[in-house]
Amino acid sequence: MSRLGWFFGAVYDFLFPPLPVCRFCGARKETAESECEACRDEWATLKVKGKQKKPYACFYYDGVVKKAIWEYKYSRIEDLADFMAERIAEMLKSQKVKADVVSFVPLHRTKRKKRGFDQMQKVAEAVAAEMGLPAARTLKRVKRTRTQAKLTAENRKQNVKNAFVCDKNTKVSKESVIILLDDVYTTGATMSAATEALKSAGYAKVIPAVFATSKANQ
């Protein structure tokens, strides 16, 4: 766009600010909330309620929840880290989860470089701050795995086998109770592989917690 075009565009936006859009579906909305009413209602119906089984989870991985995570992966909506962190901290508090440190299932280095940051690290830091706990990296992803979504349950297990090792630079003590965060839990293959890596390094107390879980797990 020419400089003049840019200038008139900026003036137009100033005079007629674009209507805010829902961060989950992109629909225009009238309220100050960051999501539209339809999405907010649907998120509410997908909330995991009552006492939980492992892993701890905020939402069922379905409908608008699934869509938002998917859209985020393909960079069509803004970063979900803050939203995920608020919901996860709120849920862990309501379930009265006690721990010493908040950690996360990391991305592989190449993926982190491509994206510029590790979303779950951001989530872990925000959840830790919210709960008054330290956040720490405990794992390293040493194998570049394929996207789990396209694989069968058995292939998922193979795909993430030996994908993680304990980060030898971690300062987390072996006695610590660790909350281990990930975004989605479906067959549990990734979370199991990550937990196993910590257990074989001597960490016995790992509490898995996720933003979204498939209905079959609860």
Least Å distance, CB 102 to Zn ion, is 29
Residue placing its CB nearer to Zn ion in the complex, 39 or 105 = 39
Shortest Cβ 35–Zn ion spacing (Å):
5
Nearer to Zn ion, 45 or 94 (CB): 45
Q: How far is the CB of 210 from Zn ion (least distance, A)?
A: 22
The conformation of residue 149, written as its DSSP 8-state character, comes to G
Q: How many helices and strands in the chain, by DSSP H and E?
A: 8, 6
Of 43 and 164, which CB lies nearer to Zn ion in the complex structure?
43
Write the burial class of residue 218 (CB in 10 Å: 0-12 exposed, 13-18 middle, 19+ buried).
middle
Strands (E), 52-100: 56-60
Tell me the C-alpha distance between 163 and 168, whole Å.
Answer: 15
Binding-site ranges for Zn ion (CB under 5 A): 22, 24-25, 27, 36, 39
Determine the Cα–Cα distance for residues 46 and 63; give it in Å rounded to an integer.
8
User: Which residue, 26 or 202, has its beta carbon nearer to Zn ion?
Assistant: 26
The owner of tokens 């987390």 is 172
| Least spacing, CB of residue 49 vs Zn ion, in Å | 22
